Amino acid sequence: MARHHSPIELMREIGTLRKRGYSIDAIATKTDFSEEYVKAICHLLDNGEERLLTAIERGVMPTSVAMEIVRAQDSEIQDALAEAYEKKAIPGNQILAIRRIIELRNVKGKGMSSRAGRAPSAPKKRVTADSLVRAYRKETERQKLLVKKAAVTQSRLLFVVNALRRLFADEHFVTLLRAEALLTLPRPLAERLGTTRG
Is the pTM value of this prediction over 0.75? no
- How confident is the model over 152-167, as pLDDT tens digits? 999 998 898 888 888 8
More confidently predicted of 180 and 116: 180
Give the containing element (helix H, strand E) for 22.
Answer: none
Q: How many whole angstroms from its chain centre is CA 133?
A: 15
Q: Write down the pLDDT at residue 59.
A: 74
Mean pLDDT of 174-178: 86
Of 79-88, 90-99, 150-159, which range is least confident? Answer: 90-99
What is the distance in angstroms between the CA of the first residue and the CA of the last residue of the chain? 70
**Burial 126-165, CB ≥16 within 10 A → b, else e:** ebebeebbebbeebeeeeeeeeeeeeeeeeeeeeeeeebe
* pLDDT band per the 50, 70, 90 thresholds, residue 37: confident
pLDDT of residue 3: 52
**Model pLDDT, residue 169:** 86
Number of C-beta neighbours around residue 99 at 10 A: 22
| Higher local confidence (pLDDT), 150 or 80 | 150
**Of 19-23, 43-47, 48-52, which range is least confident?**
48-52
pLDDT of residue 149: 93
